[in-house]
């Protein structure tokens, strides 16, 4: 079990460059990046080209990295959970996008958009009981029922989209249709692994109902032999396997010359996983009574660990499955006056079926060819995220960069959020 924990812990550390749709996109008004958060936000120019827009975001609920690690004599980090106490939650959520190319052509009242992006997200929820038993052993919990099952989800795919905007009076409506081609998936369908140390003879009892599915990511041979095969950017399965479909919908309404209200629904869709789809299932009740001392002495290859691993019989089979995307719903308002722009944004995000609410406000000032701004956002895991935004527009080149939490970027080991976004586009 510790091997399993270590494997996914270092996987999470390896994915710390990640994405989230954020309020800074609203400051790219009239440029392609603004359409990522709402396909109805109108573009200013006739021809628009987006180049290598990269966005990343991570969020932690529970202990931060510094709580889980210590440094050895040569300064390297290693996992150290002995100081953790009274853990209420342990959840890491990570996401990133690479927008390789976006093209938009405007001919009033229509705008046609097309492009490609690589999308990836991951979530791991570890039961607090599992952390405690790894830290303290089972002796303090004799007679107590503990929940040990981790909930692990990974979703990575390429998307090709074709979109359309139409201006109708003071309204602008927008939509994108997206063909999806999955590259990696892990989907925890059921996550119950119960554990009890019985009081009478200290037998170890497990009651299980655990089912995890994977495509091109997770290879399981034993509980202590789990291989992760993850490529952060790939065109695997493009056009051939793991196909899906999704739509983005948006609307914008100009209340006045200065005030605009917006709404969008993003990533409404699914992927059917048919390339090497594996199903791993652990069910039933098992009791470990111990080992026969005679057998233990006579067989030098026998270990208690081997006996426990054999007891927990994981069934492996091939079975196709489907997953939905992480939906995102937004409501926003933008106000511009005298070179200033002010934005407010509410987001309801479904992260592997878990709802997350976020509220953000921001302000930016135009200083000639330069825009400089600040933002504040809050959600259940972080109520003090202060970010910055800047952009440079040397016609026809537009470049921008932002972070949702500047303190997290400067001190990632203690951060609840780590985010960074940058990109470029051309407008003609």
Could you read off the pLDDT of 270-310 as tens digits, one per residue? 999 999 899 999 998 888 765 443 343 344 444 555 556 66
Q: For 397, how many CA atoms within 13 A lie in the half-sphere containing its CB?
A: 4
Work out the number of other CB atoms within 10 angstroms of the CB of residue 411.
13
What's the pLDDT band for 100 if we cut at 50, 70, 90?
Answer: very high
Q: What are the helix (H) ranges across 98-177?
A: 128-136
Q: Is 391 inside any structural domain?
A: no
270 domain-assigned = yes
Strands 315-318 and 243-254: unpaired
Whose CA is closest to 419, among 35, 10, 54, 36? 54
Q: Give the H or E element holding residue 150.
A: none
Instruction: Name which residue leads in pLDDT, 414 or 129.
Output: 129
Q: Per the domain annotation, does 422 fall within a domain?
A: no
Q: Is residue 387 part of a domain?
A: no
pLDDT of 186 reads: 93
Host domain of residue 93 = 2-10+21-51+79-365
Per-residue model confidence as pLDDT tens digits over 359-376: 999 999 999 999 999 999
Q: Which strand (E) or helix (H) includes residue 53?
A: strand 47-61
**What pTM was estimated for this model as a whole?**
0.85
- H helix count then E strand count, the chain: 6, 23
For residue 277 the two structure tokens come to 């789809």
**pLDDT score, position 296:** 38
Total domains present in the chain: 1
**Structural domain contains residue 352:** yes
pLDDT in tens, 239-251: 788 999 999 999 9
List Cβ neighbours of 67 (8 Å cut-off, separation of 6 or more): 83, 84
Over the chain, what is the mean pLDDT? Answer: 84
- Write down the pLDDT at residue 170: 94
**pLDDT above 80 (res 12):** no
* DSSP secondary structure string for all residues of 341-360: EEEEEEEEEEETTEEEEEEE
Cβ–Cβ < 8 Å for 275, 241: yes
User: Does residue 16 belong to any structural domain of this protein?
Assistant: no
Quickly count: other Cβ atoms within 10 Å of residue 1's Cβ: 17
Task: Classify residue 218: in a domain, yes or no.
Answer: yes
Q: Which of 95-104, 122-131, 412-421 shows the lowest mean pLDDT across its residues?
A: 412-421
For residue 362, the SS3 value is: strand
* pLDDT of 259 above 50: yes
- Structural domain includes residue 420: no
DSSP state of 313: -
Average pLDDT over residues 85-100: 81
219 pLDDT tier (thresholds 50, 70, 90):
confident
Question: What DSSP letter does each residue of 21-51 carry, written as one string?
Answer: --GGGGGSTBSGGGGGT-TTSPBSSSEEEEE
Q: Which of 111-115, 138-142, 225-229, 312-316 has the lowest mean pLDDT?
A: 225-229
Percent pLDDT > 70 in the chain is 85
């Amino acid at each position: 079990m510790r091997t399993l924990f270590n494997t996914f812990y270092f996987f999470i550390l390896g994915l710390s460059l990640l994405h989230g749709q954020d309020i800074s996109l609203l400051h790219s008004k009239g440029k392609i990046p603004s359409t990522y958060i709402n396909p109805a936000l109108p573009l200013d120019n006739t021809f628009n080209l987006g180049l290598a827009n990269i966005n990343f975001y991570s969020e932690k609920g529970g202990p931060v990295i510094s709580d889980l690690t210590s440094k050895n004599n040569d300064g390297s980090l290693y996992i150290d959970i002995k100081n953790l106490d009274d853990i209420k939650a342990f959840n890491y959520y990570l996401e990133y996008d690479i927008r390789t190319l976006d093209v938009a052509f405007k001919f009033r009242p229509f705008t046609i958009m097309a492009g490609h992006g690589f999308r990836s997200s991951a979530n791991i929820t570890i039961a607090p009981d599992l952390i405690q038993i790894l830290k303290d052993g089972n002796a303090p919990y004799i007679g107590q029922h503990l929940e040990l099952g981790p909930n692990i989800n990974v979703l990575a795919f390429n998307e090709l989209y074709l979109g359309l905007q139409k201006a109708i009076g003071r309204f602008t409506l927008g939509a994108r249709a997206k063909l999806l081609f999955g590259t990696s998936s892990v989907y925890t369908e059921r996550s119950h692994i119960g554990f009890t140390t019985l009081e009478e003879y200290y037998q170890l009892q497990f009651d299980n109902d655990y089912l995890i599915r994977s495509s091109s990511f997770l290879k399981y041979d034993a509980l202590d032999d789990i291989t992760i095969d993850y490529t952060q950017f790939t065109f695997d399965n493009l056009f051939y396997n793991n196909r899906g479909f999704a739509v983005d919908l948006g609307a914008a309404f100009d209340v006045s010359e200065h005030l605009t209200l917006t709404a969008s629904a993003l990533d409404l869709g699914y992927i059917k996983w048919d390339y090497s789809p594996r199903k791993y299932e652990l069910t039933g009740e098992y009791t470990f009574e111990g080992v026969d001392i005679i057998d233990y002495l006579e067989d030098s290859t026998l270990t208690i660990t081997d006996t426990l691993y054999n007891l927990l019989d994981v069934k492996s089979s091939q079975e196709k499955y489907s997953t939905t995307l992480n939906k995102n719903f937004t409501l926003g308002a933008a106000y511009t006056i005298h070179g200033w722009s002010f934005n407010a944004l509410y987001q309801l995000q479904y992260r592997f079926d878990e709802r997350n609410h976020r509220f953000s406000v921001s302000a930016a000032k135009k200083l000639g060819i330069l825009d400089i701004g600040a933002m504040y956002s809050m959600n259940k895991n972080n109520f003090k995220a202060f970010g910055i935004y800047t952009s440079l527009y040397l016609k026809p080149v537009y470049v921008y960069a932002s972070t949702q939490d500047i303190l997290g970027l400067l001190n990632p080991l203690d951060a609840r959020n780590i985010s960074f976004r940058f990109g470029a586009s051309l407008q003609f």
